[in-house]
Amino acid sequence: MPHVDIKCFPRDLNDEQKTALAADITEVLIRHLNTKDRSVSVALNQVQESDWQQVWDNEIAPQMATLIKKPGYSM
User: Which residues form the catalytic set?
Assistant: 2
Cβ–Cβ < 8 Å for 4, 25: yes
CA distances 38 to 5, 33, 49, 54, Å, are: 16, 13, 33, 32
